[in-house]
Amino acid sequence: MNDSDREDSKNNLALKKVVLFLTYTLILIIAIFVGSMFYETMKSNQAISQKTEGEKQLNSTPNVNVTPIVESETIMNTVTPQPIATPDLLPHIPYGKPENFGFNQSKINIMDNYIQAQVDDGFPGAALMIAKDGHIVFDKSYGYSKKYNGINLMSEFEGMQIDTIFDLASLTKIYASTFAIMKLVDDGLVSLDGKVSDYLQDYNGGYRNQITVQMLLSHNAGYIENYKFYSEDSEYRTRDRDTVYDYVKKIPVDRVPGEKYDYNNLNYIIIGMIVEEVSGMRIDEYLKKNVYEPLNIDDKVTYAPLEIGIDISNIAATERLGNTRDGLIDFDGIRQYTIQGEVHDENTYYCMDQVSGHAGLFANSYGLTVLNQLLLNKGEYEGVRIYKEETIDNWLTTINDEKYQLGFWNAKNASEKLEPYVSDTTFYHNGWTGTATIVDKENNMSIILLTNKRHSPCPEGDFQGMDYSLAYYVSLIQKVYSALED
């Protein structure tokens, strides 16, 4: 090999070393890049996994474990942990600080402590939501949705949550019958001055031909007696919904229509009948289609919640031993278990398939706040118009000096203790199970208080839940208004 060949060989060897070096370097760079991408992917997956788990925890209902109580429940001092409101639960109405909407925070704290003290002393549970100027300024749950299985205290109570569903009892008269008939009036299918006999076939004779829709809504149609269709002693005994409607057309009117105001469930059973006859749909179906579903609250305001898949643990229990008042009352087929998710009202449950115009509706505080906001917004909510403005203007007007207006009660006339606090355009109603609502046009404010005060011992027919001032709503409403700055 000559010198020229040796030089060429050295050059080829050097070139091979350079190529080999570059190849290994490239492989190393690729390996580092791939490893880095794999690492970032793992980190991202871990973050997603952690986020998903966090969202599950955020949206889940925490279990409240309570030390078993062996003495009187009135010594209980357990404070229920408060869950955090989530976007899924409260998708529309924004939150605001009370002080930014005219409230004194220290007085809000007094109100908050008042409710908690009642619960610590043995009151079953409550949920309170206050909205002002289109913002939720207070939202909290207290105590327990269920404490008893039968007459026995549970070893672990079910904690009240901000989305707990309640049996509304007579608030059904507002959020079902009134909202439904208001829609029919809005659509021109029913007139407030129209005679009931114009809408119900065979509803005639005697005073019946004088009764108007407005008289039913304002409880001055002339009916006095509240009929127990489920009772074995009733002249109109039945367990069939259609037969109840047949009986209603025969029940005598006790006094001249329009003469005197008498609060009576029968008025709103008839309102429900009108809704169904005119619309051709059962009242629950009509409301779902025309009011609740368009507002996206049909899982928050509903009849028969168990039938639409709402978990029983998310519904506040009512009477602890059926309709027996702890064993004092008995009739054929009476429930003797703790009522939870079934309507408590006897006529509605035993005779009307859980759907009536006077009782049967269930809801949580948010669903009712949406409906109150619909009224305060003059028939529109989140771009969805349910009623014409003039319909709301005509409806939420004091039409007389009596307590009873069009579905609602005039709050000033409902209670002397409320008169110094509320405006002339404040409308109110409550329900037997422990529910109350305020719609205040002047202050653009909604108050929803839901309790399960009847979920308590009932010695000699008297519910112990009624031993607390919270059970009568007025003290709480006073405290809300007292917190409003002048």
What does DSSP say about strands 125-132 and 445-451: parallel, antiparallel, or unpaired?
antiparallel
pLDDT of residue 138: 97
For residue 95, list its beta bridge partners. Answer: 136
What does DSSP say about strands 435-440 and 426-431: parallel, antiparallel, or unpaired?
antiparallel
- Alpha-carbon distance of 339 to 239, in angstroms, equals 19
Tokens representing 261? 């105001």
DSSP letters along 350-391, please?
IISTT--SSS-EEE-HHHHHHHHHHHHTTSEETTEE-S-HHH
Q: 174 vs 196, 268, 297, CA distance in Å? A: 19, 10, 16
The residue written with tokens 């009134």 in the block is 178
Condensed to tens digits (0 to 9), the pLDDT of residues 317-340 reads 999 999 999 999 999 999 999 999
The pLDDT tens digits along the chain (486 residues) read 555 554 555 555 555 555 555 555 666 556 555 555 444 444 333 333 332 323 222 233 233 332 222 222 322 333 333 434 334 444 488 999 999 999 999 999 999 999 999 999 999 999 999 999 999 999 999 999 999 999 999 999 999 999 999 999 999 999 999 999 999 999 999 999 999 999 999 999 989 999 999 999 999 999 999 999 999 999 999 999 999 999 999 999 999 999 999 999 999 999 999 999 999 999 999 999 999 999 999 999 999 999 999 999 999 999 999 999 999 999 999 999 999 999 999 999 999 999 999 999 999 999 999 999 999 999 999 889 999 999 999 999 888 878 999 999 999 888 889 889 998 899 999 999 999 999 999 999 999 999 999 999 999 999 999 999 999 999 999 999 999 986
At residue 137, the 3 state secondary structure works out as strand
- Alpha-carbon distance of 255 to 252, in angstroms, equals 9
Provide the phi-psi class of 340: left if phi over 0, else alpha when psi is between -120 and 50, else beta: beta
For residue 269, list its beta bridge partners. Answer: none
| Element of type H or E holding 131 | strand 125-132
pLDDT of residue 25: 60
Find out whether 201 and 220 touch, Cβ atoms under 8 Å. Answer: no
Q: Which of 352, 344, 319, 362 is nearest to 464 (CA)?
A: 319
Number of neighbouring beta carbons within 10 Å of residue 330? 12
Find out whether 453 and 316 touch, Cβ atoms under 8 Å. Answer: no
Q: 112 vs 118, 136, 166, CA distance in Å? A: 10, 15, 20
* Cα 247–Cα 252–Cα 256 angle in degrees, nearest 5: 145
- Alpha-carbon distance of 207 to 198, in angstroms, equals 14
Tokens representing 466? 């009624």
Q: Is the pTM of this model over 0.75?
A: yes
Find out whether 278 and 184 touch, Cβ atoms under 8 Å. Answer: yes
